[in-house]
Amino acid sequence: MKNVVIIGNGVAGITCARELRKRDSSASITVISRESQYHYSRPALMYLYMGHMQWSDVMPYPADFWAKNRIELVHDTVVSCDTEIQTVTLASGATKTYTHLVLATGSSVNKFGWPGQDAKNVQGLYTLQDIESMETSTAECDRAVIVGGGLIGIEMCEMLLSRGIEVTFLVREAEYWNNVLPKEEAQLVSRHIGKHGVDLRLQTELAEIRTDTNNVAVGVRTKDGEKISCSFVGLTAGVHPNTDLAEQSNIDCGRGVLVNQYLQTNIPNVYAVGDCAEILLPGQTRGVVEQLWYTGKNQGIVAAQNICDANQLYERGIWYNSAKFMELDYHTYGQVPATSTDSTSLFWQCRNTEKCLRIAFDDQRRVTGFNSLGIRLRHKVCEQWIADGASLRLVVQQLSSALFDPEFSTDVVPDIVLSYNARATDPIPVPKRKNSFWSKLIPVK
Amino acid sequence: MPLQQSTSSFYASVFMQKNATGVALFVFGLVMFCAGSVGVFVDSPILFSLLSIGVATVGGLLVATSAFGGLAGVKNDGTMFASSKNRGAVGWLMGIVLTLFYVLLYWFPDTLQYMVQAADPVSYTLRGMPADRWFFYGLLYTIAILVMGLRFIGRNRHNRYQIIRTLSVMAFQTVFAFAIPAVLEALQKPYFDFKNVWPLDYDFFYSWHLNKLTSESTPFFAGLTLGEFMLYWGIAMIVIGIPVLTYFFGKRWYCSWVCGCGGLAETVGDPYRHLSDKSMTSWKIERWMIYSVLVLVTVMTVLVILEYVNPAEYSFAFSRSLRTFYGFAIGAAFSGVIGVGFYPIMGSRVWCRFGCPMAAILGLFQRKASRFRITVNGDQCMSCGNCSTYCEMGIDVRAYAQKGEDFTRASCVGCGICSSVCPRGVLKLENDSVATAPHNKTDR
């Protein structure tokens, strides 16, 4: 009988446990977490702070789900792991043996050796404990500085704004997230951030965090020498895999816990999934670390399948992701390089509202990816087009089948067709605008 | 400091002040209602009306228009911290006051005899007669939907579906539930609310009502008297309106676009939508209760019609006591006292979810014979729970979304808030024909 121990109750670990139970009704399954008794949705943490939801709302499964599915939950810290005798030791002193071990230990906030980075009221945002400490350290705060222009940074800005705290956002790049987003999208998001009242400082890097005699943050100094006073500093310059436990336990690590395409470590009955895993393709020395909700979920499924001897390769498939920048919906499918230009993509931007769409294509004008802001796109349709190598013309022609905006939303298809026609030798008949009556009657920005 | 920031916080403070002034005026209006109810304004109905209904409305409008402050977008900041919205002391106080009002309105109307005079000026203007308690109640109900509807539009002005839907419930309440019945009464025609359909309108087939509708002789339209037209209209709504409209649009065509109870829930009840219970147990209770009420109203109506057709043979004491019970327990206690009085405690759709027989029928059609569904966008859900939290019908939307499964639930009123609050653009209400949007229907 299998006796599986999973360390970490984030989405990767929990999906692995659920998939195991689906495939093997007799296996013993234990999930150990130092963070919380029950699994919760990590991306929902921000909504706790903003008062949109309560703790009970962010748990995807009811409390009795775990007993019903015979998944044992242990709220404790694993202090060591012995892969020889297949045992983990907990902080409480208890031990737990296993036949299969899954490491889903997640990641930690990056700190790049800034002076003052470990001072009070300086923190990142990853765990439930981070939200709790943010609650206390911003209780009296009226000005904060966020360092690092990624997805968590903008979330932290939004959180602080909801409490009426003024925010300065230091971003190293020329535009927000423009190492990922092409210039036009990055500019649109940067403008949106500014519109919400965030003091966005582009091409600005942190030099040090200034502290008082009690080691409490009182401000920052940028590399340009500017001093900004604040009583809270958010560090959001990415995350790195938690490998401490693996490193102590003769499990090979690189940047993350090294696994093959079956998500197996160098110890055959030990797997790693989610943020902490670094997937090595055969013949390569530097692997891929995928730190997304969706990839964590899929890796959890594959590890469970392989524990049940399915011999399943992990393949990421066609890339997709979504996010919300303040009030701006963002969907992306396939490959849209940050270096996209007019000759490698069709870009359309609405003149008077914050909406844009980019359709990237290859040298034979076959569509390779989509980026949309302020427009929701249908996953299955976009994925199919990319998989089929559909032509740009066909995609623009059938674009309305890919729209996922709420009913009565302004129909963007005619304008996109026009912008296609402006540069094409094979123009497409411009369709009649849907909802034009309502769009004229009720303008929505 | 950049200019933008100081201006945005300046506006924020203006809107907060406006909101606070609005609340103060509203409370002042309520105090005036209480003063009036003990006879303080007996000789000055216009002054009473202005100080109570007038001031409370102005206060409400200040609160409602402050919802237009800031940038458009989801506005749930601090909802869970607000005493009024999350079963705090203020919430409980509001629940008790509302419940007390309904208890007095239904069962101790004499205690409100002076209070209803606040509606006299409007009643004389529209109908040429003093206000009774139902006119008074109808006037407050309509103003409440209009004022809080404005607030809802302000909060959801980034979403055209929400704006149009809310304008619809505001218009249906004002025209069909308030203005047309008042005009009919002024013309000494039978009171009739054209959008109130059996079985929600449970006494439609009562003999006194049928007699009233068939008692006229002046033709009105195509050889029919107005009463006959109303009778056939009511029947047509049942046999054609319910199945056909629900097939094309789902039950939302009624519950969140037309209905008066739904209109109140969507506007006045909006601050409390997240208080609905999401557990499996409450879903079980919901199904038992709502279909029991449907059976009850159907049995009662069959007996009533039999008695009307052949009083000699089908006049049962049982039938009369069933009517009395239904009127008391369902018509008054459930839909009024609990349905609205408990808004701040149990959420805005308690009646619609657990009790309304109309919602039960529409829900059956929606599940079994409708193109309406909620589609889930691939595998994008990250289980945050905003959709389930803000579902006023207590549907655990996340349970379907995180499985990537399109679904149709009988209780869904199609308000579209799940789609609106989703931070990953995962949910969409759809009723296109299946051919253009492949989907698979499931139920947990």
Q: Which residues of B touch A409 (CB under 8 A)?
A: 160-161
Task: Tell me the chain A residues in contact with residue B159 when contact means C-beta distances shorter than 8 Å.
Answer: 406, 444
How many H-runs (helices) and E-runs (strands) does chain B carry? 22, 4
What residues of chain A, 161 to 180, have a C-beta less than 8 Å from chain B? Answer: 162, 164, 166
Q: Which of residues 93-152 of A touch B (CB under 8 A)?
A: none
Amino acid at residue number A68: K
Cis geometry, peptide bond prior to residue B45 (ω within 30 degrees of 0): no
Candidate from A53, A293, A383 with C-beta closest to B80? A53
How near does any CA of chain A get to the CA of B79, in Å?
Answer: 5
Which of A22, A407, A442, A445 should be substituted to probe chain B, the one whose Cβ sees the most B Cβ atoms within 10 Å? A407
Q: Is A443 on the interface with B (CB under 8 A)?
A: no
The pTM (predicted TM-score) of the whole model is: 0.94
Tell me how many degrees the CA angle A217-A223-A225 measures, rounded to the nearest 5. 80
Q: How far is B410 from chain A (nearest CA, A)?
A: 20
Alpha-carbon gap, residue B241 to B200, rounded angstroms = 14
Residue A40's DSSP bridge partners are none
Average pLDDT of span B115-137: 94
Minimum Cα–Cα distance from A320: chain B residue: B380
| pLDDT above 60: residue A427 | yes
Annotate A3-63 with DSSP letters as a single string.
EEEEE--SHHHHHHHHHHHHH-SS-EEEEEESS-SS---GGGHHHHHHTS--GGGG-SS-T
Of the candidates B393, B335, B340, which has an alpha carbon nearest to the alpha carbon of residue B202?
A: B335
Q: Residue B444: pLDDT above 80?
A: no
- Token pair, residue A256, equals 């993350």
DSSP-derived 3-state class of residue B26 = helix
The confidence band for A306, taking pLDDT boundaries of 50, 70 and 90, is: very high
Q: For position A278, what pLDDT does the model report?
A: 97
Q: Answer yes or no: are the C-beta atoms of B394 and B353 closer than 8 Å.
A: yes
Q: How far apart are CA B255 and CA B352, in angstroms?
A: 8
Comparing A202-206, B139-143, B217-221, B284-288, the range with the smallest average pLDDT is B217-221
- Is the pLDDT at B438 greater than 60? The verdict is no
Confidence band of B189 (pLDDT split at 50, 70, 90) = confident
- Judged by CB atoms closer than 8 Å, whether chains meet at A380 and B378 is answered as yes
Judged by DSSP in three states, B262 sits in: helix
Q: Which of A195, A323, A408 sits opposite B160 (nearest CB)?
A: A408
pLDDT for position A352: 85
Per-residue model confidence as pLDDT tens digits over A207-222: 999 999 999 999 999 9
| A55 vs B: CB within 8 A | no
Q: What is the ipTM of this complex?
A: 0.95
Q: Collect all residues with Cβ–Cβ distance below 8 Å to A146 and sequence separation of at least 6.
A: A153, A156, A157, A160, A167, A168, A169, A170, A233, A234, A236
pLDDT, tens digit, for every residue of A124-180?
999 999 999 999 999 999 999 999 988 999 999 999 999 999 999 999 999 999 999
Is the confidence at residue B436, as pLDDT, over 80?
no
Chain A, 342-361: which have a CB under 8 Å from a chain B CB? Answer: none
Interface test with A, best of B249, B277, B383, B398 (most A CBs within 10 A): B383
Residue of B nearest to A327 (CA): B73
With beta carbons less than 8 A apart as the criterion, state whether B157 and B275 touch.
no
User: Taken in order A331, A333, A335, A336, is the CA torsion positive or negative?
Assistant: negative
The label of the residue with tokens 């789609």 reads: B419
What's chain B's length in residues?
444
Mutate to test the interface with A, among B1, B377, B415 (most CBs of A within 10 A): B377
Name the one residue in this structure whose structure tokens are 């606070």. Answer: B20
Q: How far is CA A358 from CA A212, A349, A364, A392, B146, in A?
A: 48, 9, 17, 11, 41
Q: Do B379 and A297 touch (CB under 8 A)?
A: yes
Picking from B184, B104, B92, B172, the residue whose alpha carbon sits closest to that of residue B137 is B104
Q: How far apart are CA B406 and CA A382, in angstroms?
A: 18
Residue B12 pLDDT: 64
Inter-CA distances, B15 with A30, A198, B8, B81, B92, Å: 52, 19, 11, 19, 26
Hey, are the CB atoms on A199 and B1 less than 8 Å from each other? yes
Cβ distance B168 to B259 under 8 Å?
Answer: no
- Nearest CB among A41, A194, A409 relative to B160 is that of A409
Q: Which residues contact A426 (CB under 8 A, 6 or more apart)?
A: A393
Optimal mutation site among A19, A38, A52, interface B, most CBs of chain B within 10 A: A52
Q: Over 90: is that where the pLDDT of A285 sits?
A: no
First-to-last C-alpha distance (Å) of chain A: 59
Instruction: Specify the pLDDT at position A314.
Output: 96
Q: Which two tokens stand for residue B381?
A: 């859900």
The domains of chain B, with CATH numbers, are 371-442 (3.30.70.20)
**Residue B192, CB half-sphere, CA atoms under 13 Å: how many?**
20
Q: Which residues of A touch B76 (CB under 8 A)?
A: 50-52
Q: Which pair of tokens denotes residue B318?
A: 């049982």
CB atoms within 10 A of CB B333: 18
Shortest alpha-carbon distance between residue A165 and chain B (Å): 10
Residue in B74, B380, B418 to test binding to A, most A beta-carbons within 10 Å: B380
What share of chain B has pLDDT > 90, as a percent? 82
Nearest 5°: phi and psi at A129?
-65, -30
- Inform me whether the C-beta atom of residue A322 falls under 8 Å from chain B C-beta atoms: yes
Angstrom distance (rounded) from CA B416 to CA B159: 10
Under 8 Å between Cβ of A99 and A267: no
pLDDT band at A435 (very low <50, low <70, confident <90, very high): confident
Q: In this complex, is the C-beta atom of A84 within 8 Å of any C-beta atom belonging to chain B?
A: no
**Chain A residues near residue B88 by CB distance under 8 angstroms:** none
- A–B: how many Cβ contacts below 8 A? 152
Instruction: Centre a 10 Å sphere on the Cβ of residue B199 and count the other Cβ atoms it contains.
Output: 21
Cross-chain residue pair A44–B385, CB shorter than 8 Å: yes
Q: Which of B428, B141, B148, B421 is nearest to B270 (CA)?
A: B148
How many whole angstroms separate alpha carbon A319 and alpha carbon B83?
43
Mean pLDDT in residue range B258-275: 97
B293, B355 contact by CB (below 8 A): yes
pLDDT band at B220 (very low <50, low <70, confident <90, very high): confident
